[in-house]
Amino acid sequence: MNLRHFLTTQDWSRAELDALLAQAAAFKRARIGRQLEGKAIALLFFNSSMRTRTSFELGAHQLGGKAIVLAPGKDAWPIEFGDGTVMDGEAEEHIAEVARVLSRYVDLIGVRAFPKFRDWAVDREDAVIRAFARYATVPVINMETITHPCQELAHVMALSEHFGTTDLRGKKYVLTWTYHPKPLNTAVANSALLIATRYGMDVTLLCPTPEYVLDQRYMEASRRNAAENGGSLRVCHDIEEAYRGAHVVYAKSWGALPYFGRWEQEKPIRDAYRHFIVDEAKMALTDHAVFSHCLPLRRNVKATDAVMDSPACIAIDEAENRLHVQKAVMAALAEQGAGG
């Protein structure tokens, strides 16, 4: 039996994703289970977290398991990921040993590792989590790298709850870029495109200029998803056109990829588009759309207080659903019975 990981939703069939969502809904109704009884998950955070850490730790506990949290380079040794590297720098051990040793201790491994923001050609290879998956002998879960598959499931679960169905075909979905004073990771934006097209929605990527279009890997995968699932994908730079008639507005900020590693040059461009904030006037153009965001969100920068506090905002529901979908993922992977 081939070892199954949860690195991207693209590796899982639509039927499998639906099964995860159904299990997540069951966990939402009855939080306590025994699916991880006697099992443990190592959660490796190369970057900070609030919702992800809390929901994974709590989720493992609610299913009878144990979570061990590690921050390599802080409370654990720095790790080297390159092959053939002469390790005379800061790293004390190699991923080949780290992943295999952890696999002898635990039943699952979760990894959160953001891009370095210096060279997109390097960052897009997702080397950290790919190395864990290469060397680990237990399932590896993506807790956000250059995609965020757990957020995808929580997002589509919140939409399904709102619309009363998992059949989201025909819904007009707007993924809008928003301003942020810093260039941010494209992970959630990449994931939003992937999952919205996977569920057959008519997706509009709204961004200020072509420079803010996402990596072609995710654009092309999303176009294929749309073609296979009865949806569509288009890019738009006109705010009113994009918002008009929308059923879902999902906001995220990200840095322009052509300026990756040259952020001082990108900053004046980004600063010129503060008006992309999600506000009441824009939401009034929609067809009574729901609004959401992965959080954390800077109020009155990405979205106004009025939007965040309105009944249309389902961001808190989505955040809660992280707990339930991650329990479903852990339970499904733990069933494999893999161990080192």
Binding positions: 49-52, 77, 112, 144, 148-151, 252, 294-295, 322
Q: In whole angstroms, what is the distance from residue 189 CA to residue 226 CA?
A: 16
- Using alpha carbons only, give the angle 148, 209, 191 rounded to the nearest 5 degrees: 10
Binding positions for N(2)-acetyl-L-ornithine: 144, 252, 295
Binding positions for carbamoyl phosphate: 49-52, 77, 112, 148-151, 294-295, 322
3-state secondary structure of 329: helix
Bridge partner list, 172: 202
Cα maximum dimension of the chain = 59
Residues 6+ apart with CB under 8 A from 220: none
Token pair 């210096």: residue = 118
Q: In whole angstroms, what is the distance from residue 149 CA to residue 7 CA?
A: 7
Q: Which of 200, 259, 188 is nearest to 18 (CA)?
A: 200
Q: Which of 1, 3, 5 is nearest to 330 (CA)?
A: 5
